[in-house]
Amino acid sequence: MKELFDTVSEICSKSVTNTYSTSFSLATKMLAPSIRQDIYNVYGFVRFADEIVDSFHEYDKPTLFSNFERDMNDALAHKISLNPILNSFQHTVNKYGVARELIDSFMDSMRLDLTKSEYLTEEEYKQYIYGSADVVGLMCLKVFVKGDLRKYEELKESAMSLGSAFQKVNFLRDLKDDFEGLSRTYFPNTNLNALDEASKAVIIKDIEEDFAKGYKGILLLPSDAKFGVFMAYRYYSKLLKKLQKTPAMEIKNTRIRVPNYEKFGLLTRSYVKYQLKLVK
């Protein structure tokens, strides 16, 4: 029965989310059950694509990525895939009418990670972030508003800003792994060999501006999605504050984390704020 296979596919996407990201998994659990699985489905897809370009160094990554893209195209066209992650993803895409342009832009940015190691201009940087993060925010927004085009257009810019903020925080947090492990640098006009406090302050100010725009959109989200997205916002804001307090050269040499006990404490405090209607 196809229904049984679809259930297995959804379990796989949920498992990918829970296994790869404690923070995203925690935030997703705060979404209403009516949309939670679809966010697992989106995350499973983007995580698999990202793993191909970032992790499988002992394999032929270009071929793996090409095969994954081919299978994705088949899944979207035929509304089924024997790859359970792609099968659950196509279900969400077709259910909510996620635009193909968003998916293609995401794959374009992931493909760049196979060959491009440095972003020298603001234009290159912004284009990469649009494809790697903004469009993922827009895919999720399609789910949050349950396909409502008017609401989608109203919240589109803030969803992109929030996606940008999350990605830029990741870039700053992962500076050491990206620079030393993958020979990549995303921040333009920044000498990572001699990252100083002034350069760090410019990066953080840019992220804070994205967060401010993104937060305005959180307040307008449907109730099914608002607390989960607010939780993700709170987590990344906490991480940014830790990065802000960490000396620039230490960021380059150490991966800054928010420990699990702090994440759960953050969840409790966020829930209290939300219930007391302090999210405004």
pLDDT of residue 200: 86
pLDDT of residue 225: 95
Residue with tokens 């796989």: 12
pLDDT of residue 199: 84
Which tens digits make up the pLDDT trace of 128-184?
A: 999 999 999 999 999 999 989 999 999 999 999 999 999 999 988 887 777 666 777
Domain limits, the chain: 2-275
| DSSP-derived secondary structure letter, 118 | B
Query: Would you place residue 26 in the very low, low, confident or very high pLDDT band (cuts 50, 70, 90)?
Result: confident
- Range with the poorest average pLDDT among 37-46, 83-92, 265-274: 265-274
Over 80: is that where the pLDDT of 277 sits? no
pLDDT of residue 233: 93
Q: Which two tokens stand for residue 164?
A: 């940008």
**What is the value of pTM for the model shown?**
0.90
Q: How far apart are CA 84 and CA 61, in angstroms?
A: 20
Q: What value does the CA radius of gyration of the chain take, rounded to a whole number of Å?
A: 18
Helices first, then strands: H and E counts in the chain: 14, 0
In contact, 231 and 279? CB cutoff 8 Å: no
Q: Which residues pair with 118 in a beta bridge?
A: 185
Domain spanning 2-275, CATH architecture:
Orthogonal Bundle (1.10)
Q: Which two tokens stand for residue 274?
A: 């939300």
Give residue 233's identity as a one-letter amino acid code.
Y
Q: How far apart are CA 102 and CA 98, in angstroms?
A: 7
Which tens digits make up the pLDDT trace of 194-226?
A: 678 888 898 999 999 999 999 999 999 999 999
Percent of the chain exceeding pLDDT 90 equals 67
Residue 102 CA, distance from chain mean position: 13
Give residue 250's identity as a one-letter amino acid code.
E
pLDDT of residue 43: 97
Over 60: is that where the pLDDT of 264 sits? no
Q: How far apart are CA 168 and CA 151, in angstroms?
A: 26
